[in-house]
A = this chain, B = another copy of it.
């Protein structure tokens, strides 16, 4: 059995722990197609927050309390950069992380595509699944906001980390998406999948940038595998992160039903065949999509694996 997961960073990484656990039980292969819209170049370093969150989490090296970055991280490089007065100073650039970015940037500058770089980094981390960036092309999520009385587009990281989403926000733009091609291996993985799972990641800034790659969206929408999503909203609030702020910008109701309807039924050009919601959202209705309510809190790997088993069952 071959499972493909469309995923973002932290929440998606925790979901993937459950996917990997369940896949080991049933002897399945897993390929994660990871959002690259968060990627950013800072201080000359190419930083891929979602790829790193997945890699570190599955490699057992993520910081469980902070949620992002490496356990036992230190911040000397960041403090020194601030002492030089160079911007941006608001980004959490850890020392261990810096080494990852140096290896990645050196390989990218030498001409390797991001997918090959990711595979090389994973030789160290042994995530136990295949990890592929959605695209090897440059694709960045920018956010149209009002700052200091001026309307402008800022990088997603600036919106998320610097402003914590607390600026008047008009829309999200996936720069480069229209001309971006799926990374090497992405279309093959989708074509060969028995099921495509949509992780309970932020639908607006983690999943949407993946689907903004035209050939990738087309492969999922018109592919042979059923597509089952897991709601990132439980009881009207995001499990973590700022999905509520993102959904509000799009005038989408912050509910399991709202996100399910935004994704829409695959039969009508949308994304989903099935939609897994939490038991507290059992009344959620998504026309054209089979909906099922099960416990969605990813409290530990066993519970998450159970949720994955439920998603696979819904796909049948």
A residues bordering B, Cβ < 8 Å? 43-45, 74, 76-77, 80-81, 83-86, 95-96, 98-100, 102-103, 105-106, 109, 121, 123-124
Contacts and interface: CB of A to CB of B under 8 A. Distances in A.
Contact of A80 (B45, B84, B95, B123): B95
A44 B105 contact: yes
Nearest to A102: B43
A124 B85 CA distance: 8
Contacts of A45: 102
A86 B98 CA distance: 14
A99 B75 CA distance: 11
A102 B85 contact: no
A168 to B, nearest CB: 31
Contact of A76 (B81, B85, B96, B106): B96
B76 A109 contact: no
B124 A43 contact: no
A102 B77 CA distance: 9
A81 B81 CA distance: 19
Contacts of A102: 43-45, 77, 81
A124 B80 CA distance: 11
Given A44-B44, A124-B85, A80 B99 contact: yes
Given A74-B76, A77-B95, A95-B77, A103 B124 contact: no
A43 B103 contact: yes
Contacts of A80: 95-96, 98-100
Contacts of A43: 102-103, 106
28 contacts: A43-B102, A43-B106, A44-B44, A44-B102, A44-B105, A44-B106, A45-B102, A74-B74, A76-B76, A76-B99, A77-B77, A77-B95, A77-B96, A77-B98, A77-B99, A80-B96, A80-B98, A81-B99, A81-B102, A81-B103, A83-B124, A84-B124, A85-B123, A85-B124, A86-B103, A86-B106, A95-B95, A95-B98
Contacts of A83: 99, 124
Nearest to A110: B44
A121 B106 CA distance: 23
A102 to B, nearest CB: 5
A109 B77 contact: no
Contacts of A81: 99, 102-103
A199 to B, nearest CB: 27
A84 B124 CA distance: 6
Task: List the 5 closest A-B pairs by CB distance, nearest first.
Answer: A80-B99, A76-B95, A44-B106, A43-B102, A81-B99
Given A44-B105, A80-B95, A86-B106, 17 more contacts: A43-B106, A44-B102, A74-B76, A76-B76, A77-B77, A77-B95, A77-B98, A80-B98, A80-B99, A80-B100, A81-B103, A83-B124, A84-B100, A84-B103, A85-B124, A95-B98, A98-B98
Nearest to A83: B124
Contacts of A103: 43, 81, 84, 86
Nearest to A96: B80
